[in-house]
Amino acid sequence: MRAIAVLNKDAGTLRTMDLEAYASLLETSFAAEGHRVDCRIVPGREVVKCLKAAAEEPGTDALIVAGGDGSVSAAATIAWETGLPLGVIPAGTMNLFARAIGLPLDVNAVPGVLAEWNVMAADIGDANGNPFVHQFSAGMHARMIRLREKIAYKSRIGKIAANIRASIDVLLDPPSFEVTYRINGKEESMKVSAISVSNNAFGPSPMLISERLDGGHLGLYLAKRLKWKGALRLAFDLFRGKLKENVAVHSELVQEVELHFPRRTPTARCVLDGELMPLPRDIRICIHPGALKVLGPAPTSP
């Protein structure tokens, strides 16, 4: 079997690595398992273009991407559309998808796992035709990212510091907006400060990592309109893994949800897998169970 690996040389972990040596490690690991991998080292702006070309190249049996969650999300879209298995090398700040599927976070340990060519069936979400592997969100999360992007940083540590600073600003001044949500024909309206629709339910981690990616459902989370004290309490419960127990949070498992934002402003934004995008007035979110093939760890015996 032959894989093509696209290495984003601008990704946090990869910036300080000898990527030629890392490509050699990938090649050696795959050869040891009787497979072949061709590595392409490219800047971040060329990752999507290179992945699309790799998917169309004759003889490609799998795609591998080394980068952060943004690169992984883009690669997942291409893999889903083409039916190719996707391998992930976690080289970003959060690496949420890699954590969810159980990959090691040590980039030097990942080649050996991917080379085993264990194909898993994972779910993938869809928001108005835009695929996502982690979550759609609006409200507090979107405001945090908008504030973070106004802060200059040049390193992974700098990004984490910017996240903390932006998060504090949002907690002290949480947004408030109206949403109508429809599930199985039943419609409800409420004022909220945050919405999240995740690919499977979140586990107890404060990083909001899905417990599994093959449950065949979406996790719907709505935080009722909050003042700063309520926002701080929400953050505290999130930190201790008690998000679903917070009194302001409504959560349920669904296969599909329709969201309507009646008072959406032209500048309103939402977040899809960590990337800001304009918030639609109406959005339909659904899950595609088992539609994404993933190279992951071998299943453990019960």
pLDDT tens digits, 56-93: 999 999 999 999 888 999 999 999 999 999 999 999 88
Q: What is the pLDDT of residues 14-54, one digit of tens each?
A: 988 999 999 999 999 999 999 999 999 999 999 999 999 99
Beta carbons within 10 angstroms of residue 269's beta carbon:
15
Do 263 and 178 have their domain in common?
A: yes
Task: Find the mean pLDDT for residues 119-132.
Answer: 96
Q: The whole model's pTM is what?
A: 0.92
Is the pLDDT at 155 greater than 80? The verdict is: no
Q: Are residues 110 and 149 in the same domain?
A: no
DSSP string, the chain: -EEEEEEETTSTGGGGS-HHHHHHHHHHHHHHTT-EEEEEEE-GGGHHHHHHHHHHSTT--EEEEEE-HHHHHHHHHHHHHHT--EEEEE-SSS-HHHHHHT--S-TTTHHHHHHT--EEEEEEEEETTEEESSEEEEEHHHHHHHHHTTS---SHHHHHHHHHHHHHHHHHS---EEEEEEETTEEEEEEEEEEEEEES-B-S-TT--BS-S-SS-EEEEEEEP--HHHHHHHHHHHHTT-GGGSTTEEEEEESEEEEE-TT--TT-EEEETTEEEEPPSEEEEEEEEEEEEEE-PPPPP-
CATH code for the domain in which residue 16 is found: 3.40.50.10330
Q: Which domain holds residue 90?
A: 2-117
Q: Domain of 139: which CATH number? A: 2.60.200.40
Q: What is the pLDDT of residues 161-201, one digit of tens each?
A: 888 888 999 999 999 999 999 999 999 999 999 999 999 99
Are residues 248 and 153 located together in one domain of the fold?
A: yes
**Is position 241 within any domain?**
yes
Residues 85, 182 within the same domain = no
- Asked if 107 and 194 sit in the same domain, the reply is no
Confidence class for position 114, pLDDT limits 50, 70, 90: very high
Which pLDDT band, with edges at 50, 70 and 90, does 154 fall under? low
Given pLDDT bands bounded at 50, 70 and 90, which one contains residue 148?
A: confident
Q: How many domains does the chain have?
A: 2
Same domain for 151 and 113: no
pLDDT tens-digit readout, 9-24: 998 889 889 999 999 9
On whether both 136 and 282 belong to a single domain, the answer is yes
* pLDDT score recorded for residue 302: 52
100 and 173 co-located in one domain: no
CA max distance for the chain = 58
Residue 122 has pLDDT above 90, yes or no: yes
pLDDT of residue 25: 97
Taking the C-alpha atoms of residue 292 and residue 259, their distance in angstroms, rounded to an integer, is 24
**What's the whole-number mean pLDDT along residues 251-279?**
95
Structural domain includes residue 19: yes
- Regarding whether 167 and 263 lie in a shared domain, the answer is yes
Please report whether residue 269 resides in a domain.
Answer: yes
| The length of the chain, given as a count of residues | 302
Domain end point (choices 91, 117, 143): 117
> Are 78 and 149 in a shared domain?
no
Q: Clarify whether residues 220 and 243 are in a common domain.
A: yes
Interval 199-224 mean pLDDT: 95
Retrieve residue 227's tokens: 């003042």
Whether 90 and 144 share a structural domain: no
> What's the pLDDT score for residue 156?
67
